[in-house]
Structure 1
Amino acid sequence: MAHAEAENSNPQAYDAVATTEATLVDIRPEGQRAIEGSIAGALVVERNVLEWRFDPASGARLPVATDHDIQVIVFCSEGYTSSLAAAALQDLGLWRATDMVGGFHAWHATSLPIVPPSNAS
């Protein structure tokens, strides 16, 4: 289970994330982001391509995926999918990959800043 293997981040770690080299990664599908909103500065990488984009050996890697030592904090809506995603990144050797406990919903519930949903009036 990913929670047993990785140290998890939580929304209260906002200040730490904002002042470190951590990359906050939103793996929610576009439809969920449109309904729920997003976190400013989070890198959007949908779950189905996450490993390709963060594997330093991949030809499809993101510029941030320079080596296995990068700190990645993955989040989804509630923290379940991101737990498995963080474990998959660890399996690739990204030993500092973790997930946000409670996901976007927990972040929003603690009144941390969000970008409102695109359908908000």
Structure 2
Amino acid sequence: MDHNKQLQEAIASLRKEFREVVIIYGDYYYAFEYVLRSAGTFEKSVALKSCCEIGGANNYDGKRQCGAAGVPVCQNPAKFISWDGVHLTQKAYRLMSKFFNTQILSQIKWIRA
């Protein structure tokens, strides 16, 4: 959060210094928070677990990645936010894209010819 705050302050400073330049910033951290707040669209009991049935508290083992021999393939990724404990599922990335589209389009000042 501190990194993002400093980054936003630096962008604000650049926007003041270079008024003729359009700087567009997509905040990945807040986009991921949006996905977490949208967790109601995921099955609550498994939303924060990885999709692959590796076991443990969150179905994650960095030594046994999804798709590796002996690791089950996820049967219903739409229930999960995380595909393998590191990467998101298509549904989660779709929600992040929705957030980014809204955030980025709001930063663009449309000029009519």
Larger helix share, 1 or 2: 2
TM tier relative to shorter chain: under 0.3
TM, length-normalised to structure 1:
0.24
Q: Which structure has the higher relative contact order (CA within 8 Å, separation 6+)?
A: 1
TM-score (norm 2): 0.26
- Bigger radius of gyration among the two: 2
